[in-house]
Amino acid sequence: MLCRKNSEALGPYMRVGDVDPNNRRAKTQIGKMYKESRAFPEGEKELQDVIAADANYGPAYRELGELYLQWSSFGTDKEKAKKAIENYKKYMDLTDKSLESQLRYAQFLFYAKDFPTLEQVASTIQAPANDPKSAIVSRMKGWAAYENKNYPAALTSMNDFFAKEKDPNKILAFDYLYLGKAQLKAGQDSLALINITKAVEKDSTNADALAEVAKSFYDAKKYAKSSEIYEKAIKANPNGKGALYNYYYNAMANYFDYAAKLTAKQNPSKDILVRADSSIAKVTQLAPETYDAYLTRARINSLLDDEKEPKGLMLPFYEEYIKKITEKPELATANAKKLSEAYDTIGGYYYYKDKEKAKEYFNKSVAVYPTGTFAAAKLKELAAPAPKGKGK
């Protein structure tokens, strides 16, 4: 449906067409107005009629390219995005290879995700060093190079872009994103974090890139920093793409951070474990069939429990893990060692409280994992005669 403004303007062009059916400009303008009103099929017909009448009328190809680009929802419909590129390229070949047109063509290629062609085209665009559009050329080179896994070139081009672009209002979320991701590939984790955070502040859908930075710190065993960044990624996009992994790795980062500090006798705060427990609980909520999450939660709660007077905080999570794994014999076989851990830990909890119950769990452990040593040793202890009292 045409908007009112376009409807009013359309009339004169229609009348021109009535008077002069061969007026290419009028019909092209009609097609453009349909495009602007998102009446894409009608606009397509008008513009194709112009091209059928005059195959060398360049402006019609330009408008048809713009129409197909919008109709493709900026690249999501691959077939229409391809038509957009073809028509805009035809327009340039016929009439206009100005810097502006070349940059617009580069944008078409980006939306269509034709990154190899984009990198090739961007590298041939010549812009005077003092021309503001020179920064846009660097931007296109950087974006394309990154997508083509040409990371050093991406970093060079994005640094060049930021050196040229002096107006912060013209810097896009994608600019910070590609610079940050290129820095991450170059091992510049701290700089990457700064720029990717800026990208997320401009557009929260970039939160998955924050998770990449967090994983980089995680892999480097910098668990406290990793957790800090995962928290930012979760806050920016709590239910978006990759959220499950963010919760999982945030839990693991906190768990390993606590364990490392405990080993180093740094007296870590149990608040670290509370954060770990909160994140792994979210994993079990979002994906109940992620069995290892219950095991991880049990381990976290073992550390959360009082060392001298344990309350058995881990018991419900080990029990849930056992329940889910033993529902299918093939799962129990594949996870025998982990299942044994659950039985051993529960048996160990009951060792001084309920010896018969302890025996029950230790026997189950031996049954699923005969080569394990803990349960066998404990059963031996339980079977031994009670030591005689002193003086007897």
Among 96, 118, 136, the domain boundary falls at 96
Q: Is residue 327 one of the residues assigned to a domain? A: yes
Among 52, 77, 96, the domain boundary falls at 96
Name the more confident of 205 and 163. 163
The confidence score (pLDDT) of residue 165 equals 94
Is pLDDT at 389 greater than 60 in this prediction? no
Q: Is residue 348 one of the residues assigned to a domain? A: yes
The confidence score (pLDDT) of residue 388 equals 64
- Taking only the tens place, the pLDDT of each residue in 59-99 is 999 999 999 999 999 999 999 999 999 999 999 999 878 99
Vertex 68: Cα angle to 62 and 72 (nearest 5): 150
Q: Is residue 321 one of the residues assigned to a domain? A: yes
- Taking only the tens place, the pLDDT of each residue in 20-52 is 556 799 999 999 999 999 999 999 999 999 999
The confidence score (pLDDT) of residue 50 equals 96
Work out the pLDDT band at 2, boundaries 50, 70, 90. very low
Query: 176: Cβ–Cβ under 8 A, 6 or more apart, which residues?
Result: 195, 196, 198, 199, 202
Tokens of 341: 């851990």
Q: Is residue 106 one of the residues assigned to a domain? A: no
Q: Is residue 278 one of the residues assigned to a domain? A: no
Q: Is residue 89 one of the residues assigned to a domain? A: yes
Residue indicated by tokens 């394309």: 144
* Structural domain range at position 323: 288-382
Is pLDDT at 391 greater than 70 in this prediction? no
- For the chain, the average pLDDT equals 92
Number of domains in the chain: 2
The confidence score (pLDDT) of residue 390 equals 47
CATH for 307: 1.25.40.10
Among 96, 130, 145, the domain boundary falls at 96
- Taking only the tens place, the pLDDT of each residue in 158-198 is 999 999 998 999 999 999 999 999 999 999 999 999 999 99
Q: Is residue 205 one of the residues assigned to a domain? A: no
Q: Is residue 372 one of the residues assigned to a domain? A: yes
In angstroms, the CA 382 to CA 62 distance is 86
Is pLDDT at 10 greater than 80 in this prediction? no
The confidence score (pLDDT) of residue 95 equals 87
Name the more confident of 235 and 13. 235
The confidence score (pLDDT) of residue 16 equals 42
